[in-house]
Amino acid sequence: MKKRTGLVFFPAFDWSIAPIHPEREERLLYTRDQIFEEGVLDLPEIIEYRPQVATPHEIARAHFCVPGVDDQVLVAHRIAAGAAIRLSDRIMSGEINNGFAIVRPPGHHAMRVVHGNRGFCSINNEAVVVEHLRRTYGIKRIAIVDTDVHHGDGTQDIYYHDPDVLFISFHQDGRTIFPGTGFTDELGGPTAYAATINIPLPPGVTDSSLLYVIDNLVLPILKDFEPEFVINSAGQDNHFTDPLGSMLITAQGYARMTEKLKPDLAVLEGGYAIESALPYVNLAILLALAGRDYSYVTEPGNHPGKIVENSQVTNYVHQVVDQLQQMWDKRKDVTVSQLCGGSKYYQRHKNIFYDTEYFEEKQLEKVRACVSCPGYVLIDSHAAQPKIGRCRVMAISIHNRCCKNCIAEAWEAYYEAKKDYRYSYVYLQDKTDDTFITFRRDDQKEWRTEG
Ligand SMILES: [Zn+2]
Ligand SMILES: [Zn+2]
């Protein structure tokens, strides 16, 4: 069935980490040419939009940027996130059925607290859209399916304690690739158990095993979760020619997967085979979204019989799927108090490495393990950013469905942190009324971002 598919193309030609860095502006040049040359923009189903610019407030709904949004975010980041917002609005209005934001910079390694760029990401484009959809349209249940070869650790971090956002990531096993996380036992915090699903796959997975994972695990979980909106973090670095990944997926495999997932919105993430993969994978995905024939899209080097999967890889994939199916079936037997040992808070220490500028952040994250709501999150974070030096902050996030007690406790924690001289900045993100407050110790100033 043909669909109206929106496309925003934003290659950020003026932004790159470094001229020889794999995440550079040429990534989308060949894709643009391919889409033009194939006449895709002339198809009546494809509607191209200009991106908009995400506001600091739209970003602050998803992130605590230290010290502030403008210190971490360039116009290119705001446009990439704004492109995804633009498409989500057109989808919600019914003007288009689905959309593909072919944008950079990517976003899925950007976590809730942002001290800098990680894994080529500063702002999580998908999280900005999730918060926009919840705030603007009251959408309750949203799923993000991350199909990049790297674990979407940033998206996982932002929604680890949110039962309303299902995050499913399949990726190359973290023991063999950046960022080294995304194992089957990372299942979400006590109030959001099993709303995070990680499917680590061994190197060498081909289209058939990938589609096995989609059919036997991802689609059944999505069906049970019943999301009102599905976002695909579309990373194309599982391609068999990608220089960073070790997977064997083809453009056809990506398109078939897209056809099965039926995302409302796909947002480009990674993919570093600039000439041999990205133009073909992105084109095939776009055609699949629009319900057009994509069978003719074949990348160079993909000869019949060339890509073969080792039987050990196949068996391993089946075992991972079995294990996660069993967990999913038993998820409702697990209680909040079991998961946090009966204590008031669930907490975890995190060391987060910023690989672009080489520094580390240390975090203590505490979540109120409430039985009547998703709870609130307190994050004590410090890092020595190259530009501003050592900075310790307290960041408090109130879920939009928090109960009255939790809202009062979280605000109390904010007032207490303002009195605590260890914190240079104190932030409060209250999603119940769309408030974002920053308190700066230096001059005792406090301000709200404008909605
Ligand atoms: Zn990637
Ligand atoms: Zn509560």
CA of 151 to the centre of ligand 1 (A): 8
41 CA from centroid of ligand 2 (Å) = 49
The confidence score (pLDDT) of residue 451 equals: 56
Ligand nearest to the CA of 371: 2
Burial class (CB in 10 A: 0-12, 13-18, 19+), 447: exposed
- What is the C-alpha separation between 57 and 63, in angstroms, rounded? 10
Cα of 104 from ligand 1 centre, angstroms? 12
> Which is nearest to 257 in space by CA: 287, 319, 214, 298?
214
In order, the DSSP letters of 380-391 are: EEEEEETTTEEE
Report which residue type is found at 198.
N
Parallel, antiparallel, or unpaired for β 389-398 and 376-385?
antiparallel
Q: Kindly give the distance from the C-alpha atom of residue 190 to the centroid of ligand 1, in angstroms, as a whole number.
A: 28
Beta bridge partners, 199, equal 170
| Cβ atoms 411, 433 nearer than 8 A | no
Whole-model pTM? 0.97
Listed as own residue / partner, the contacts of 30-33 with beta carbons closer than 8 Å and 24 or more positions apart are 30/274, 30/275, 30/278, 30/279, 31/102, 31/278, 31/279, 31/282, 31/283, 33/279
Please state, in angstroms and as integers, the Cα–Cα distance from residue 197 to each residue in 49, 171, 185, 327, 436, following that order: 33, 11, 9, 10, 29
pLDDT at position 20 is: 73
Q: Catalytic one among 63, 77, 108, 109?
A: 109
Beta bridge partner(s), residue 360:
353
Q: Has 151 been annotated as catalytic?
A: no
pLDDT at site 26? 82
Question: What local confidence, expressed as pLDDT, does residue 270 receive?
Answer: 95
> pLDDT in tens for each of the 451 residues of the chain?
789 999 999 988 777 777 777 877 788 889 999 999 999 999 999 999 999 999 999 999 999 999 999 999 999 999 999 999 999 999 999 999 999 999 999 999 999 999 999 988 999 999 999 999 999 999 999 999 999 999 999 999 999 999 999 999 999 999 999 999 999 999 999 999 999 999 999 999 999 999 999 999 999 999 999 999 999 999 999 999 999 999 999 999 999 999 999 999 999 999 999 999 999 999 999 999 999 999 999 999 898 788 999 999 999 999 999 999 999 999 999 988 888 888 999 999 999 999 989 999 999 999 999 999 999 999 999 999 998 999 999 999 999 999 999 999 999 999 999 999 999 999 999 999 999 999 999 999 999 986 5
Residue 24: which of 106, 81, 84 has the closest Cα? Answer: 106
Which ligand approaches the C-alpha of residue 376 most closely?
2
The ligand placed nearest to the CA atom of residue 367 is: 2
In this prediction, residue 450 carries a pLDDT of: 67
Residue 19, Cβ neighbours under 10 Å: how many?
8
- Residue 161 C-alpha to ligand 2 middle, in angstroms? 13
Four-residue CA torsion sign, 337, 341, 347, 353: negative
pLDDT of residue 249: 98
Q: Is 70 helix (H, G, I), strand (E, B) or coil?
A: helix
Residues 6 or more apart in contact with residue 404 via CB below 8 angstroms:
none
Which ligand is closest in space to the CA of residue 106? 1
Residues surrounding ion ligand 2 at CB below 5 Å: 370, 373, 403, 406
> What structural domains does the chain harbor?
5-332 (3.40.800.20), 336-448 (no CATH)
301 forms beta bridges with: none
H helix runs in 61-206, sequence order: 69-72, 75-93, 125-137, 153-159
**What three-state secondary structure class fits 225?**
helix
Two structure tokens written together for 63: 């992130």
State the distance from the centre of ligand 1 to the C-alpha of 270, rounded, in angstroms. 4
